[in-house]
């Protein structure tokens, strides 16, 4: 009995350690401080450069070094199908898209909050149908909207292991205040090394676009209009567990 219990104890201890150390997505808040048009000559797109206050909480036991990022924003049309309305990237990706960077954009220390002021680029892409739906909802809900996104980031775990991470998130947009609060996120993919951001981003984007939108949360404008705190009211926060499933972590554990 004792000998049989010993392997079981080891298995339970190992399972407990894995639950503690498996990766979690940072919780985030994004506030636009200034915004001005920027013409991107390489693809003839009008975009917006936004100086923003970025706040994150890294709940992992290792640091996260972020080197590049690209996010695609979506919103439902009148038929409740998601359409691409914009892309957000770090400014280095627009100015030097083919460059491999040696220094990270941001370093998130383990088990701590992180805050910085930095510039990002927003490229609007929405057509008339989806933008009319978005505008109507903004008026009806007093500027408080739920905006899903897909994204890909290049990171180094603990500053050593390069990883390409794809994610799908739901966000609360306070349009009048130009704030975005992360509501829920899940890791969609984990790949060792750094893959092409454009290709990886397009793959996730294809999974989102034209799908029927069925949000699990329906925040109403009144609940958030007078909220000046840094976070989102706890009734709407579903990001306490941002943990990847064990099968999705296998490529990383194999390194």
Rounded to two decimals, the pTM is 0.76
The model's pLDDT over 135-179, given as tens digits with 9 standing for 90+, comes to: 999 999 999 999 999 999 999 988 898 999 999 999 999 999 999
Q: Residue 38's pLDDT is what?
A: 82
Per-residue pLDDT for 250 more than 80?
no
- Cβ neighbourhood burial of 9 (10 Å; 0-12, 13-18, 19+): exposed
- Cβ neighbourhood burial of 26 (10 Å; 0-12, 13-18, 19+): buried
Q: Residue 78's pLDDT is what?
A: 94
The model's pLDDT over 5-47, given as tens digits with 9 standing for 90+, comes to: 545 444 443 333 334 445 678 889 999 999 998 876 555 568 8
The alpha carbon dihedral of 235, 54, 160, 100 has a sign of positive
Q: Which residues contact 31 (CB under 8 A, 6 or more apart)?
A: 52, 53, 54, 55, 177, 178, 179, 180
Tell me what the mean pLDDT of segment 103-127 comes to.
Answer: 92
- How sure is the predictor about 92, in pLDDT bands with cuts at 50, 70 and 90? confident
Q: Residue 68's pLDDT is what?
A: 92
172/99: higher pLDDT: 172
Q: Residue 96's pLDDT is what?
A: 65
- How sure is the predictor about 97, in pLDDT bands with cuts at 50, 70 and 90? low
Q: Residue 251's pLDDT is what?
A: 42
What b/e string do you get for 60-73 counting C-beta neighbours within 10 Å, with b at 16 or more?
Answer: bebbbbbbbbbbbb
For 41, other C-beta atoms within 10 Å of its C-beta total: 7
Q: How many angstroms separate the CA atoms of 52 and 120, rounded?
A: 7
The model's pLDDT over 173-218, given as tens digits with 9 standing for 90+, comes to: 999 999 999 988 899 999 999 999 999 999 999 999 999 987 654 4
Percent of the chain with pLDDT over 70: 69
For 200, other C-beta atoms within 10 Å of its C-beta total: 23
The model's pLDDT over 53-63, given as tens digits with 9 standing for 90+, comes to: 999 999 888 89
């Amino acid at each position: 009995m004792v000998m049989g219990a010993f392997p079981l104890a080891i298995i339970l201890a190992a399972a407990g350690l894995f639950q503690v150390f498996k990766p979690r997505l940072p919780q985030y808040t994004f506030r636009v401080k200034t915004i001005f048009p920027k013409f991107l000559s390489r693809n003839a797109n009008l975009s917006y450069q936004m100086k923003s206050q970025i706040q994150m909480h890294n709940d992992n036991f290792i640091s996260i070094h972020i080197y590049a990022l690209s996010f695609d924003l979506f919103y439902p049309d009148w038929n409740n199908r998601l359409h691409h309305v914009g892309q957000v990237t770090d400014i280095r990706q627009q100015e030097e898209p083919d460059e491999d960077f040696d220094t990270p954009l941001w370093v998130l220390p383990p088990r701590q909050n992180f805050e910085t002021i930095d510039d990002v680029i927003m490229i609007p892409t929405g057509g008339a149908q989806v933008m009319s739906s978005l505008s109507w909802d903004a008026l009806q809900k007093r500027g408080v909207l739920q905006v899903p996104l897909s994204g890909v980031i290049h990171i180094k775990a603990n500053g050593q292991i390069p990883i390409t991470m794809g994610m799908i998130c739901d966000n609360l947009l306070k349009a009048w205040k130009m704030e975005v609060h992360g509501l829920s996120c899940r890791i969609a993919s984990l790949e060792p090394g750094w893959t092409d951001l454009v290709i990886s981003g397009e793959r996730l984007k294809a999974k989102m676009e034209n799908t029927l939108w069925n949000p699990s949360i329906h925040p109403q404008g009144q609940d958030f209009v007078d909220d000046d705190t840094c976070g989102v009211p706890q009734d709407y926060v579903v990001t306490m567990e941002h943990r990847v499933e064990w099968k999705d972590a296998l490529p990383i554990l194999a390194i």
